[in-house]
Structure 1
Amino acid sequence: MLKLFPNTESIIFSYEKLLAFDLVKITKKLFQTKDGGASFNCVIQVPYPNSANIPKEVELIVEIPSEYPLGSISIKVEDENLIGFPHQNTNNGELCLFPQEYASVNEDRLINYIEWAIRWFSDASNNNLLKPNDVYEIPYLNRKYLRETLLLFQEKTSNFDIWKNEINKMGSFSFFKNSQGLIFPVNFWRNRNNLLSYFWNKHFKNKNKEAFKGTWIIFNDIRFFRYRPPKTFKEFFEVAQKNGFDAAILIQNILNNIRFLGYEPLVLIGFPIPEKVGAPNNQIYWVAFKFKIKSEIKKYQNSLNLNSKKNRRFYKLSQEFLPVFDLDDEIEWIKEENCCSERIFSRSSFSNDFQNKKIFLIGCGSLGSSLADLLVRGGVKDITLCDKEIIEFGNFCRHILAGDSLEKGKAEELCKKLSLVNPVCDIKTHIENIPTQDESFLTDLINSDLVIDCTSDRDGLIWLSNFCKQNNKILCSLSFNSKASYFTAAISSPVTYCNVVKHKIWNKVKNNETPFNSEDYLEKINKQLLIQNAGCYHPTFPALYNNIQSLVSIFVGLLPSVINNLSWGVIIHRKDLEESVINSPFTIWKKEIN
């Protein structure tokens, strides 16, 4: 009898109910695990004979969590011949079943999981785990090493026109490493011809750091056994030979980095994938590993048949590069992520047209920093930030920056933060007050598609309005009142003055041409609420950060629709809590301003 933990009785009851259903044959009885859960082994029947060469009976290891009937039940296999299918962890043989939310939260939960496992093996026996039009699943790699390292790459479907001619070929690439343990390739070459370059913003890749060199290889098929990629170097070279590579030449190319650069070389392995199962390949997917330098290779040399020309070349090469690696060593695959913009911003992003606009944002305080954060997370690819002020302690209650930015420039610190949020966004900065005659500032302003002013500076807005009209630029002036109950946006067309548009909005409120109370909208801050000379950044300023964030979030959703060569006025009113319980918490007024 099991020692009783809080949920032991529930586990025993479900186990006995499973036995009554006669779904499995028990090979190792239920026993208590150290964490209060339980485990047992059982055998299930599989359709036989089958095209996947799965035996008629398969033994499962079933692990039940201590929080049962909550939590996920783990079902694994130990037989190496049964490890390597899609929807399976190739490290430990665990089956990838339905999400735990689909299972009953009662004594039937264990039966649910066993039935799922039986169904899984039924599909596996017919090679039906991946069905036509399913989203393609990347083969599972052994990533139990190098968890602190992440490879980032940018592969979109348009790149495939380049790579489809490079399948079963190899070349070199340069890459950077940053302080967060991120690895990101920059340039790819073959025979000294630059095939492709990735863009990474300067703060993300630590521009002044040394660029390293590695080897890229593209296999037509990376699988070694069933759906599983190679686990060891020996398996890797077998896969390479299946793809038409000479192992000796492959090693020589890779290990040149040890001889000339003095570090463990990084190897990128690419392979073509489709978007969906059964569809044509339309993208290259990259994975990576490092050669782990070892002290002995002689025992593998001694096992080689030197009658083979390839083996003789390998023997000679391994002599030259001693010490190198052991063929039976497990490959240390690095975790990877494709972070091209069309992939990471495929959800919750702006339209392609808006993402491609060059935005020049002036003012990186509470409003400007919140807006910049949402724009960058929405996939904007080019943004310039301008602010001459530094971060002071009082800013932190209403700003996305934190204590490590104290007494540093707002624009530059915001740039660093957002560069890590979106590494493929080109973020530039200017440390200027407006008006200014700084040449680089004016050049970037002229080259922008949209100028956004978040300063609430009247003189600055007048100067910007004149400049943008003279240069046919769209200017958007944003502000909120002292309680963050009203948010106002004045958007000029390329042929109107933004400050005039803003003045017309105020007049419409005064003349009761909007649904808002003019006294409430135009109310000035009670300066007695503020510490003298503290400024609006101070914690005693009435506006709460959550209210500012909610107003900015709503406006960002409207922004693409009002950038259309017309002049617009937008007011967003945040209602009091008591009123918002009855009606919508926000009222949005949007009108073309002539």
Structure 2
Amino acid sequence: MHKSDIEFYNSYFAGLERCRLEQNFRLLDEEPFYHGRICIDTAKGPLDFEVLLPEDYPFGEAHFYCRTIKGYNHQNLTATETLGGNACLNTPFVDHLHTRLSLDVEKLYQWIEDLYINETRQEYEYPAFKTQGKAHLLFSETANDLTPDRFRENLYGTMTYTVLNQRLTSNGKAETYTLLAQQLGGKESSWSKAYKGGDLYQGVWVFVAKEPVVRHRLKMDSWEQLRDLLPSSFSDFFLDFCKKSARYMLGPDGLREYFLLALGYAIPTLDNKQEVHWDLLLVPVKDFRRRELKRRPKYIKNLTEPLLWDGTTNSSYQRFFGRGMLSKALVSKNILIIGAGAIGSSLSELLVRGGLTKLTLSDSDTVEPGNVCRSKLTFKHTNIAKVLNLRLSLLDISPFVDIETIAAIQPTSPKGRYYENTASVLNQFDLIFDCSADNQVLQMLSYGNVISPIVSLSITNKARHLLCLSSWDSPRLIEMKSRLLDWLKADHYPTFKPGTGCWHFTFEASYPEINALLNKALNNINTSTLNGQKPETFILSAETNSSISKLSFIKYQQPELGLKLKVSSATVETVLANSDSFFPNEYGGLLMGSYSDDFSEALVFDVILPSKFKSSPTSFVPDTDELNKKLNKYGKEHDSGVEYLGEWHSHPKGSGQYSPQDFASLKKVAEAGSVAVANPLLLIASGYKGEMQLSFYVFSKNKLYKFSPYN
């Protein structure tokens, strides 16, 4: 196999246009690569390349190290100086040797033409340099931070930094420190309070007029090259800093032999603005020992040693969350999550990973081992307060979120002595997510004194459904939940008991079952805020044989009567589909749902459709005996939570105006003693196939009142 590969590589490169095979390919003994040398003729002269191809190529990446040129765009430096810079080609994987190699070579020739011969200007690329691997500085900079006045008075100063983590060697010694910059470039960092704490170490920063490169993208490698970039008075400042170094904690154990110097300069952004980028220099302490400086001053501008560069990364909020930030209208809110269990813990992580910056967690429970399997809580923190456990996990995710905890928000009512204080606490938040699965909490949140918007998230047993209740369109949260559960024929209270002993009952559902619904629910909430809308009440179904995957509600109102109407999306879809199916004849059925306890809102969940009827383009007469049987069966299946609310039928090619017969029919229903609804509804689907419009009416005081849609 190796022999045939070697023969192929030799013949392939020897046959390339403008290419000479300078050294035949062979399989290296010490590394799993084939190595050869080629020379490509260009308009600017020949380019020599060391070629390394993985032993299992086309898997892996082909490497073309140019020994002739350095510092060009998309040319990475390597640890071995003799190899030169590696051309960054980034070709797609194809599991065919000749095809993959042809793609790589075609990209190499294009790289030579565009970036070496023509030096085509592309998007900004950071200068190439070798790092020491001792420190990596994270900072936060955006275009908004580079104001005209920022460096007008001070081009240098002191900075502080903390240690985020350290990578250890096999013998336990620190190998690389990851550092968080604070007060860099005279600007307060944007890290959260948790990341501004800890041991603070001091370093120095300086802002220069241009990036420290000698040619193309190749970074300066000596102090002589850097000298002219530094402000004239910086050497004196740095000398003074070194003389006072005994006052400072200069670094953790593994970095105390260096002063940290952050070198900043302006670079272009993707939207044609400018922001500051910071590079990190390690300045050996031995060159500036305080005892020697008192006797003989030494200036940084006079150093002759090589520059010791190390790694940095701009970790601004925009870059941190740029790949998947949630709606700014959502994550900019001050959010309270009540309940840190299966739903609340996962929701909090989703929000934090999406860019949330202000979060408060509330839960009175401690972590039990049985909590861990379906939540974001950890076994290591068993018997610790859930909110403290969760806070630690969330802070590990984002350096931009400030998290407060409240041990518990005790449910109470307006007649309770602590109710006003509780309502005052709740009203401090821009948005409250209730994930407690506690009806007492939901009832408390339903009272009018709590004016903060509320979204309640709960699941039914075995995670068959997720209920999202929004106070924006359902202020009576507890009543809405009850009506939805009745319609779903779901248990109102959990029934699962995890073991013997005295337990609170809970619902039964696995982690993936819960989060499959929760992820979709948050996506719906996020989409609504992206579109400038308020989160709505909806139901999600996990059942594959369910007629709905998501059930939302279309809202109507009748201002004269002060009556609101919510119609499920499933009802609308069924009415429209059947009106189209029987077009051009009329068709209809019954509306099923319920009125709120105070009769201020009607909720239509479903329809009953007859299979026996007579219809024409101008009439529809169902078989009443069959409809009554279906109605009785429906009532038994849904107990008393869902009942007959009215009727619907279509007006093919007609208008949404009700007829005298429609009025007479609804009046008869309202006056019938056998019917439990005093204000029946009428729905008319009118128009042409595929273009039907819905008109809703309610019968009240011997009159039909029309509803109008609202958001």
**TM-score of the two chains, using structure 1 as the length reference:** 0.78
SS of aligned partner of 1:459: helix
Deviation at 1:461, TM superposition (A): 2.1
Mark the CA change 1:159 to 1:535 in structure 2 (over 3 Å): closer, same or farther. Answer: same
Give the match for residue 76 of structure 2. 89
Does 2:320 align with 1:331? no
* Length, aligned pairs only: 526
Q: Matched residue of 1:99: which SS?
A: coil
Q: Distance in 2 between matches of 1:225 and 1:111?
A: 34
182, 187, 208: which one pairs with 1:186? 182
Q: 1:444 to 1:338 in 2, by over 3 A?
A: farther
Compute the displacement of 1:445 (Å).
3.2
Following the alignment from structure 2 to structure 1, what is the Cα–Cα distance between the partners of residues 267 and 305?
28
Select 1:448's aligned residue among 415, 429, 436: 429
Answer 1 or 2: which has greater strand percent. Answer: 2
Aligned to 1:484: 463
Counterpart of 2:216 in structure 1: which amino acid?
Y
Q: Which residue of 1 aligns with 2:26?
A: 31
Q: What residue number does 1:427 align with? A: 403
CA distances 1:266-309 after superposition (whole Å, capped 9, x unpaired): 22211111124xx7542111222332334799xxxxxxxxxxxx
Question: Pick from 62, 65, 76: which aligns with 1:73?
Answer: 62
Is the 1:296–1:326 Cα contact (8 Å) retained in structure 2?
A: no
The whole-number CA distance in structure 1 between the counterparts of 2:180 and 2:36 is 44
Measured in 2, the distance between the counterparts of 1:268 and 1:443 equals: 47
5+ long unaligned stretches in structure 1 = 1-5, 49-55, 190-194, 298-314, 513-517
- 1:471-498 Cα distance to aligned partner (Å, 9 max, x none): 521112211112011111111139x74x
Contact between 1:39 and 1:63, CA under 8 Å: does it hold in 2? Answer: yes
Q: Which has the larger radius of gyration?
A: 2
- CA 1:526–1:211: 2 relative to 1, 3 Å: closer
Could you report, residue by residue, the CA deviation over 1:217-251 in whole angstroms, capped at 9, with x for unpaired residues? 1122123222346454x34x532413544563364
CA deviation map 1:43-72 (0-9, x unaligned) = 111212xxxxxxx11211100101112221
Residues 160-192 of structure 1: CA distance to partner in whole angstroms, max 9, x if unpaired? 115664498112222222345442223247xxx
Kindly provide the CA deviation profile for residues 370-402 of structure 1, in whole angstroms up to 9, marking residues without a partner as x.
100111111112111112222221122111232
Aligned counterpart, 1:493: 472
Distance 2:236 2:286 in 1: 20
Is 2:542 aligned against 1:574? yes
Aligned to 2:641: none
Quick one: structure 1 residues 591 and 390, their matched pair in 2 at CA, closer, same or farther if it must change by over 3 Å? farther
Q: Name the CA shift for 1:416/1:368 in 2 (closer, same or farther; >3 Å).
A: same
Does the aligned pair in 1 maintain the 2:456–2:470 contact within 8 Å? yes
Query: Residue deviations 1:292-334, cap 9 Å, x none?
Result: 334799xxxxxxxxxxxxxxxxx97894469999743441413
For 2:161, the equivalent position in structure 1 comes to 175
**1:178 aligns to what SS in structure 2?**
strand
Task: Go from structure 1 to structure 2 and tell me whether the alpha carbon gap of 1:203 and 1:413 turns closer, same or farther (over 3 Å shift).
Answer: farther
Hey, what does 1:120 align to over in structure 2? 111
C-alpha separation between the residues in 1 aligned to 2:430 and 2:184? 32
The answer as to whether partners of 1:490 and 1:502 remain within 8 angstroms in 2 is no
8 A Cα contact 1:473 1:493, kept in partner: no
| Map of 1:255 onto structure 2 | 242
Listed as ranges, the matches of 1:229-240 within 5 Å are 230=219, 232=221, 234-235=222-223, 238-240=225-227
Candidates 550, 568, 571, aligned match of 1:587: 550
- Equivalent position SS for 1:172: strand
Q: Distance in 2 between matches of 1:570 and 1:441?
A: 28
Conserved in 2, the CA contact under 8 Å of 1:452 and 1:476? yes
Give the 5 Å matches for 1:126-145: 126=117, 128-131=119-122, 134=123, 136-145=124-133
How much has 1:426 moved relative to structure 2? 1.7
Letter in 2 for 1:157: A
Kept in 2, the 8 Å contact 1:240–1:247? The answer is: no
Q: Secondary structure at the match of 1:343?
A: helix
Alignment RMSD (CA, Å): 3.5
Partner of 1:522: 491
Give 3-state SS (helix, strand or coil) of 1:371's partner. helix
Map 1:287-302 → 2, pairs under 5 A = 287-294=279-286
Instruction: Give identity over the alignment, percent.
Output: 20
What is the CA–CA distance in structure 2 between the aligned matches of 1:19 and 1:435, rounded to whole Å? 81
Alignment of 1:376-415 (within 5 A): 376-415=352-391
| Shift, 1:527, TM fit | 4.2
- Tell whether 2:496 aligns with 1:506: no
Change (3 A) 1:324 1:470: same
The 8 Å contact of residues 169 and 217 in structure 1, kept in 2 or not, is answered as: yes
Q: For residues 401-436 of structure 1, give each alpha carbon's deviation from its aligned partner in whole angstroms, at most 9, with x where no partner exists.
A: 323322222112211211221111222112224238
Q: Secondary structure at the match of 2:137?
A: strand
* Distance in 2 (alpha carbons) for counterparts of 1:115 and 1:318: 62
CA gap 1:256/1:441 in 2 versus in 1, 3 angstroms: farther
Question: Among residues 269, 272, 287, which one is paired with 1:275 in the alignment?
Answer: 269
1:163 & 1:67 partners in 2: Cα distance? Answer: 56
What is the TM-score of this pair, normalised by structure 2? 0.66
Query: Equivalents in 1 of 2:485, 2:113: separation in Å?
Result: 69
In 1, are the aligned partners of 2:443 and 2:477 still within 8 Å (CA)? no
Is the 8 Å Cα contact of residues 537 and 553 (structure 2) preserved in structure 1?
yes
Question: Residue 310 of structure 1 aligns with which residue?
Answer: none
Letter in 2 for 1:446: N
Match for 1:266 among 255, 260, 264? Answer: 260
User: Which residue does the alignment assign to 1:552?
Assistant: 518
Q: Summarize the Cα distance change of 1:229–1:415 in structure 2 as closer, same or farther, 3 Å threshold.
A: farther
Question: Measured at CA, do residues 116 and 504 of structure 1 come closer, stay the same or move farther in structure 2, by a change above 3 Å?
Answer: closer
Instruction: Give the Cα separation in 1 of the matches to 2:324 and 2:283.
Output: 39
Where 1:101 maps in the other structure, the secondary structure is coil
Contact 1:47 1:122 in 2 (8 A): no
Which residue of 416, 436, 450 corresponds with 2:392? 416
Letter in 1 for 2:75: Q
Structure 1 residues 46 and 144: alpha-carbon distance in aligned structure 2, compared to 1, 3 A threshold: farther
Deviation at 1:366, TM superposition (A): 0.9
Q: How far, CA to CA, are the matches of 1:88 and 1:18 in structure 2?
A: 21
